Amino acid sequence: MQDVSRRKMLSILGLAPLAIGAAETASATSHSDAPARMTLSEQARRRIQEQHFPDIPLITHEGKHVRFYNDLIKDKIVSLNFFFAKCGEICPLVMANLTKVQKLLGSQVGRDIFMYSFTLKPEEDTLEVLRHHREMYRAGPGWTFLTANPDDMEKVRKAIGFTYPEPAIDKDKTQHIGNIRYGNEPLMLWSACPGMAHAKWIAETLEWAIHPETNRVQAS
């Protein structure tokens, strides 16, 4: 691996929150440019959606056709990560860690928070492969595996910031960043954490998105 140190550094630091730039842009938007009666908060939320959550068509492991923003993200608290089935390095570690996170969060998954795992190689990871992976990692209700047209999946990956600045490295799927993007869409709270961090810490971090008003840890 020619870029291990870069990936490790990005995994440790996480990705920058999505909301900051969009909120600043929305705040600077004049009332004449904004839709009538739309508050600054509503403008910021729409700006985040336009820049980072395009309403791209996806397919779940069950074969259900869904839209990225309207069906998966809007009005929800979510975690997002990328993987591919034949990855022999970071993917299995992150996915196994998410299995532990799901167990720690318990019944909150599928009720208070929704976990989404997207394939980086839709041309290889068929629905059958996705279903096999769900079974292998003991994914329960509320943890959905997704695929899409390869071009559309690339748009999703880039929109939520799982990219490298160097095109050659970014094109190499074996160099992908093993981070988890998470957020509370209605409150516009978005950030990321390393996918190989301690599972209890990740669960606590996701619970911050679920209960930001109390910042109280409920995972055990």
- Residue 93 sits in a domain whose CATH number is 3.40.30.10
pLDDT at 115: 98
- Please check whether residue 149 lies inside any domain of the structure: yes
Q: Decide if 216 is inside a domain.
A: no
Domain with 165, as residue range(s), is: 4-210
Tell me what the mean pLDDT of segment 45-52 comes to: 94
**Neighbouring-strand partners of residue 81:** 117
The tokens of 140 are what?
């329960």
The answer to the question of residue 217 being in a domain is no
Q: For residue 201, count other CB atoms closer than 10 A to its CB.
A: 14
Most confident of 14-23, 77-86, 160-169, 173-182: 77-86
pLDDT, tens only, 101-160: 999 999 999 999 999 999 999 999 999 999 999 999 999 999 999 999 999 999 999 999
What is the C-alpha to C-alpha distance for residues 211 and 217, in angstroms, rounded to an integer?
9
H or E element in which residue 184 lies: strand 179-184
Instruction: Answer whether residue 180 is part of any domain.
Output: yes
Count of domains observed in the chain = 1
Query: Predicted confidence band at 1 (pLDDT cuts at 50, 70, 90)?
Result: very low
Question: Residue 178: CB partners within 8 Å, gap ≥ 6?
Answer: 7, 11, 81, 90, 91, 93, 94, 194, 195, 196
**Within a domain: 58:** yes
- DSSP character for 68? I
Task: Indicate whether 190 pLDDT > 50.
Answer: yes
pLDDT > 70: percent of the chain: 80
How far apart, in Å, are the Cα atoms of 84 and each of 3, 95, 99, 111? 19, 10, 16, 26
Which runs of E-coded beta strand occur in 36-178?
57-60, 65-67, 77-83, 114-119, 143-147
Say if residue 201's pLDDT is above 90.
yes
141 domain-assigned: yes
The confidence score (pLDDT) of residue 30 equals: 44
Any domain includes 219: no
In the predicted model, what is the mean pLDDT of residues 68-97? Answer: 95
Question: Which has the minimum average pLDDT: 24-33, 90-99, 114-123, 152-161?
Answer: 24-33
Mean pLDDT of the chain: 84
Using alpha carbons only, give the angle 148, 153, 154 rounded to the nearest 5 degrees.
155
46 has a pLDDT exceeding 60: yes
Q: Tell me, what's the pLDDT at 36? A: 59
Query: CA Rg, the chain, in Å?
Result: 17
The two three-digit tokens of residue 184, written as one number: 């509370």
210, 113 Cβ separation under 8 angstroms: yes
